[in-house]
């Protein structure tokens, strides 16, 4: 059971042009996530959602503050699903799954099981270029689950896909999550998606500050067309309108 503690975290990037102002991506946020929960981080573009995941995964360092991602008394093992699939085009699907694993045959069996769970058991020996965008993203999701992470980070994984494919992948994701119950931090700018998938929604405002923290108490799996889900979506979208645009950079 992963535990994420974010304590007074800030991240400022240097000015994009000479003489400009530094860009505040995250502005002094504190947050705690614990247990087998699906947490969405929602907000408009440029409010620091992806930067937060990059700091949690160690790809970027914070300007101020601390983060800790633990599983019991050891550092948590992470999985990551990106906006695009980020597969190695010169390796087959199964080899891409094995690229992020260090075990041999046992690992291959696990990788195959997760590919099967996303409906891609017939693609093991194919190259990513032979798959459509939706299928590549399913490989990306299977890869992240297959490392059996304590914490799964997902950065707008469906934002580059068409609506029908994205909807199908959301259903796949719900099935996978229900079967594995990993701790998930899911970044999205789509409130509808967040309500359908999450137990908790953290709303970030421009300038990288927390605007709202909402608990969703509906059973999984949820359908987008479910009236309860739709009502909640409308309510949260209404709260969004209260969010005043600030002078913080986008």
Partner 1 sequence: MAAMGAGQMTAGTVALPEAPTPPGPFRRWMTSPIGAQVTAAVVFIGAWQLLTLIAPRVPGPVEVVNFLFVEITGGSHGGIVRGQFFEHFAITLQRFSLGLFLGFVSGLLVGILIGSSTLARALLNDTVLVLLTMPAFVWAFLTTMWFGITWQAPVLTVAFASFPFVAINVAQGVRAIAPELKHMSTAFEVGRSKQFRHLIVPAVAGYIFAGLRFAIIVGWNGILLSEWFSGQAGVGFRTRYWFDANRYRGFVGWVIVFIVFIVVVDRVILNRLQKRAFYWRDASEADFIEIEEQQVGL
Shortest Å distance, C-beta 130 to partner 1: 5
The answer to whether the peptide bond before residue 221 is cis (omega within 30 degrees of 0) is yes
| 159 is a contact residue toward partner 1 (CB under 8 A) | no
Beta carbon nearer to partner 1, 43 or 134: 134
Residue 197 sits in the site that holds partner 1 (CB under 8 A): no
Q: How near is the Cβ of 185 to partner 1 at its closest, in Å?
A: 13
Q: Which of 58, 68, 109, 113 binds partner 1 (CB under 8 A)?
A: 58
CB of 27 to partner 1, least distance (A): 24
Q: How far is the CB of 80 from partner 1 (least distance, A)?
A: 4
Should residue 168 be labelled a site residue for partner 1 when binding is judged by CB under 8 A? yes
Q: What mask, x for binding partner 1 by CB under 8 A, covers residues 211 to 230? A: --------------------
Tell me which of 39, 55, 120, 202 binds partner 1, using CB under 8 A.
Answer: 120
Binder among 109, 119, 245, 246 for partner 1 (CB under 8 A): 119
Q: Give yes or no for a contact between 146 and 110, defined as CB atoms under 8 angstroms apart.
A: yes
Q: Considering only 23-31, 38-46, 95-103, 217-225, which stretch makes contact with partner 1 by CB under 8 A?
A: 95-103
Q: Decide if 208 contacts 54 (C-beta within 8 A).
A: no
Rule CB under 8 A: say whether 132 interacts with partner 1: yes
């Amino acid at each position: 059971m992963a535990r994420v503690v974010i304590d007074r975290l800030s991240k400022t990037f240097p000015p994009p042009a000479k003489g400009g102002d530094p860009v505040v991506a995250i502005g002094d946020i504190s947050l705690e996530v614990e247990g087998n929960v699906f947490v969405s981080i929602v907000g408009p573009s440029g409010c620091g959602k992806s930067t937060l995941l990059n700091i949690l995964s160690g790809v970027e360092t914070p300007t101020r503050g601390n983060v800790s991602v633990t599983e019991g008394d050891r550092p948590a093992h992470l999985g990551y699903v990106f906006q695009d699939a980020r597969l190695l085009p010169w390796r087959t699907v199964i080899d891409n799954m094995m690229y992020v694993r260090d075990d041999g045959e046992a690992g291959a069996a696990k990788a195959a099981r997760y590919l099967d769970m996303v409906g891609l058991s017939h693609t093991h020996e194919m190259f990513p270029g032979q798959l459509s965008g939706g299928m590549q993203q399913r490989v990306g999701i299977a890869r992240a689950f297959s490392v059996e992470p304590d914490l799964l980070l997902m950065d707008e994984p469906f934002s580059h896909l068409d609506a029908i494919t994205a909807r199908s992948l959301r259903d796949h994701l719900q099935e996978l999550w229900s079967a594995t119950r990993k701790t998930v931090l899911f970044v999205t700018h789509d409130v509808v998606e967040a309500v359908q998938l999450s137990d908790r929604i953290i709303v970030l405002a421009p300038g990288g500050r927390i605007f709202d923290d909402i608990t969703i108490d509906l059973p999984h799996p949820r359908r987008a067309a479910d009236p309860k889900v739709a009502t909640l979506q409308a309510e949260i979208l209404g709260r969004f309108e209260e969010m005043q645009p600030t002078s913080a950079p986008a």
